[in-house]
Structure 1
């Protein structure tokens, strides 16, 4: 914090600061006001290895948790530790990229186990964009600098990317519904980095899972021509709320219309969403047995051409899946075709109240386009 450093110990030094509590740029201001000439910001354990750029007020560098430990150990073991901060220019074609930022919003959803969250990931680290000259790039009062552009990171930086892509898709396809736009974005996303490997999670350094990246990283060009989309109506959402055990009063409060849940026979995983999340509740006591769950979906063609799509899949570990039919033929734009995903799995040994989730996917392709949906299968042990 500002005023917390001893100027006698700080003057002329580069200070190692840990991330957290105080804004990163404000840490630099604290170092500068105490006479420091530079700063190294080290991630803490929960921050992982991901670093984000800031408009610092003095020469500074951000490093991940493991590098921070090395610097910390060096400071405490070297007789006379020294440091040099140097700028090597903007780095392009960094590999691997993209990776899931450590601050990225994670699932599962606290509201519903029957939707994989997040839907999608998008660029959110080091985003350069227009900036108001009414405040400094750090938004700190002692910072008198003004600039037309700034560089920020956060989920709030991903949001305008997705919003802009949705607007472009609506301009290109004025007849598309919000559900169709979301479907196009989700089913055309990619899950491999520029090394051809599974996306990595900055927070762990390991493979990212669907609770971190959802359907994958957004790909606007492919989203413009998805071939097929998963459409949704108001009734679909109402049926989803009914099957999710919302009361009719709850639903009427949300929809502002009367509803009769006794007429609904669907399951919550039957919502025609571009991803599939299945929850298998195991009664107590359960240590064995096989459970079968059938998921219903409907695809709509958005192309003015005949097309044939073939199904493929990757089964979640411990789950057997069958897609029926595994071939869909469309002869016109707007035509709908239904299919089901039959799943079966043995009971999983879990403690009361515990859950276990495994991921897979289903995919439809006509040879040029791919319509991919992640599948989450969750075992939940009842109390």
Structure 2
């Protein structure tokens, strides 16, 4: 992210910025949340510390609450501690996971404060708890809310507690960052679709974690896992799950290493091959010395999961190499090596598991909005929380590696808080716009529209504090937007206002909402002519001139009117129109481009996406 330890914020206001974390609670005793060097909580803070028995706050963790889902704000799951420390954790030196990924752990804004709202248990997050937490966070005086939660797929906004809660937050000047979801790489899976939230996809970090298995014939295969175990042996017997099955189960079940399907005595001291990623739990229970897992789930491509025993996940091709070797000898042996850290030159790339657009309910709004780091993220953890899914794995850690859009979301929250430090008077939409229009390029290796995977690309905090121009939306703009897409009853339900929407012919189109990206859906096989109306505000020099540049695309003709925007004062606003004319698109196809406003120093980029 280009955001190293030497970066400093606005020393005058940085400790006054407060992040609200809606999650599974917090392990308040973590080093990441100590308050050494912090003064009293900001005067604007109106919250309280109601974390339950034996729970204390301090001048860093200034507030805590829990709701009906739990009986304490103390995090026994680990998820909330991990996300909070990613957003706002202190600098903690010499952190690692059993020596892997060693370095200094640091949240995006280590000098800021935070409050924890425990709204989830291990198996549920109740809608009314989430809404209550939003109400409390707004009343308590937080500046940014981060929510690494969400439904498994998009639900109507009027039924989505995170969408409704974040709407009320933005009406009070608070930006909410929300995880995009972990149901990729299938299209149309993004669950966070409301335009007033910053929806965050997960991308790779340039530190990769790999594992190796050395076969008895000397062949070495590279795969993925976080294997912290060290073996001094040269090799162990290796068997297939079906060959060490409990006779009460089928060969297929044992081949997958399903629960209780492996015979304990038959597998002891051996490495077992499992045809499913979930087989590691059964292998550990049965007492195997290690396991080789077949990764046939595209969503887990490139992800190294913490596993409860020496293990490695291999793609089909490499997995079949192991099987071929086993068939070639009477005494197959292998050794699984401790994981290694490598440099990933292809980062940032969107994670396979990261949920993609199209936005099911609002296709004129590109979601996700942006990408942030979400693979193999090392951050604080609850020492009473399990680190794997195996009941036999009794290890306890204070820092661990996790992957998910849940890990990407607090990276974006930290970046948003940094922008808030530097510009305390900026609105939530100004902060959101600055993050979206200044993003880094991404590596895209699929035929899928990149904008559906990562929105405006990869987050760049340093650039975001000086975007040049911003796309801003007012409270009235969001009310009008609600009127465009909902009936009046739902508008009143979501907004809490007794609002009268315009008649149908006055409503306008969601594509003309003043969003930092431009998208529209067109009818297949029919030529199209689409126009967008936008307004930008000058937030840099009082006298500045920006020229429009369109990245060329032979399939469409894109015109910007006017092509030049000249500003004479700070915070001056200018409007422009973008017209896109194209030939008929086939079903399932799309056209993408970009609009860049440049003054020679700033490049204010908005993605353009037309799809059927």
TM range (shorter): 0.7 to 0.9
The answer as to 2:255 corresponding to 1:14 is no
Aligned CA distance change for structure 1 residues 65 and 323 (closer, same or farther; 3 Å)? farther
What's the counterpart of residue 51 of structure 2?
Answer: none
TM-aligned CA deviation for residue 35 of structure 1? 2.9
Aligned CA distance change for structure 1 residues 69 and 100 (closer, same or farther; 3 Å)? farther
Contact preservation (8 Å) 1:45, 1:65: no
What's the counterpart of residue 68 of structure 1?
Answer: 319
Counterpart CA distance in 2 for 1:304 and 1:100 is 35
Contact preservation (8 Å) 2:488, 2:501: yes
Contact preservation (8 Å) 2:284, 2:390: no
Within a 5 Å distance, the mapping from 1:205-220 to structure 2 comes to 209-220=450-461
Contact preservation (8 Å) 1:115, 1:275: yes
What's the counterpart of residue 291 of structure 1?
Answer: 528
Within a 5 Å distance, the mapping from 1:45-124 to structure 2 comes to 45-47=297-299, 49-54=301-306, 56-76=307-327, 80-87=331-338, 89-91=340-342, 93-124=343-374
Given candidates 206, 229, 251, the residue that maps to 2:491 is: 251
Deviations 1:172-225 (A, max 9, x none): 111111111111111111223xxxxx3335xxxx67621111111111111111
Counterpart CA distance in 2 for 1:40 and 1:254 is 50
Contact preservation (8 Å) 2:270, 2:290: yes
Counterpart CA distance in 1 for 2:473 and 2:326 is 59
What's the counterpart of residue 296 of structure 2?
Answer: 44
What's the counterpart of residue 340 of structure 1?
Answer: 577
Given candidates 221, 227, 232, the residue that maps to 2:462 is: 221
Counterpart CA distance in 1 for 2:291 and 2:565 is 59
State the secondary structure of the residue aligned to 1:84. strand
Within a 5 Å distance, the mapping from 1:295-306 to structure 2 comes to 295-306=532-543
The answer as to 2:506 corresponding to 1:264 is yes
Counterpart CA distance in 1 for 2:409 and 2:365 is 19
Within a 5 Å distance, the mapping from 1:184-195 to structure 2 comes to 184-192=434-442
Counterpart CA distance in 2 for 1:114 and 1:316 is 20
TM-aligned CA deviation for residue 45 of structure 1? 4.3
Unaligned runs of 5+ in 2: 1-257
Unaligned runs of 5+ in 1: 193-197
Counterpart CA distance in 1 for 2:317 and 2:412 is 32
What's the counterpart of residue 31 of structure 1?
Answer: 283
The two structures have a TM-score, normalised by structure 2, of 0.54
- Per mean C-alpha deviation after superposition, the further-off stretch among 9-18 and 62-71 is 62-71
Deviations 1:52-102 (A, max 9, x none): 231x222122334543344445445665443222236322x3221111111
The answer as to 2:609 corresponding to 1:364 is no
What's the counterpart of residue 240 of structure 1?
Answer: 481
Counterpart CA distance in 2 for 1:212 and 1:185 is 17
Give the number of aligned pairs.
353
- Per mean C-alpha deviation after superposition, the further-off stretch among 129-138 and 368-377 is 129-138
Q: State the Cα RMSD in Å.
A: 2.4
Contact preservation (8 Å) 1:242, 1:248: yes
The two structures have a TM-score, normalised by structure 1, of 0.84
